[in-house]
Amino acid sequence: MKKPVIVAVALLTLVSVTLFAADSAEEYVVQSVTGKVEREVSANRWEAVVAGMTLAPSAVVNTGLNASLVVQKGDSVIVIKAMQKGPLEKLIAALGAQTAGIKRGSKIKESRVSADSGQAVSNVSTASTRASEAEVDIEWVDSE
């Protein structure tokens, strides 16, 4: 009679330890914090995030101006930059989706701007040059 009870208790202990280990593997460990970084504890109640803290993927974090959060999950290290707010898993997923744009070192492949268009070349940036869409007139080739 005692043997089946001992086996059942041992089996339950093994299952609970396995589930606990799987749960902790899903969490992120905070490596470093720069500036004001907070996590939402309950509705409209925030607490500061500090190095060594563990965060669940569903934890809502808020990075302030000039702040950053470095978290680690397994072998991967992820940096959340300033002015981000939302669940940690969504912020990390958004980091992987940011591939559009002009990369440093890209070369002009083709331009539909005529040479005699009257546009003067200058190394002084004006508001109109910063606001214009260069992607409309120029095709870029990534040099990787």
Global confidence as pTM: 0.52
pLDDT 10s digits, 75-116: 889 999 999 999 999 999 888 766 556 666 777 777 666 666
Give the integer Cα–Cα distance in Å for 129 and 124.
9
- Whether the per-residue pLDDT at 28 is higher than 90: the answer is yes
Instruction: Say if residues 83 and 111 touch (Cβ distance below 8 Å).
Output: no
So where are the chain's domains? 25-97, 101-113+128-144
Nearest in space to 34 (alpha carbons), one of 79, 88, 87: 79
Cα Rg of the chain, angstroms: 25
- Of residues 120 and 91, which shows the higher confidence score? 91
pLDDT 10s digits, 31-59: 999 999 999 999 889 999 999 999 999 99
Report the mean per-residue pLDDT for the chain. 78
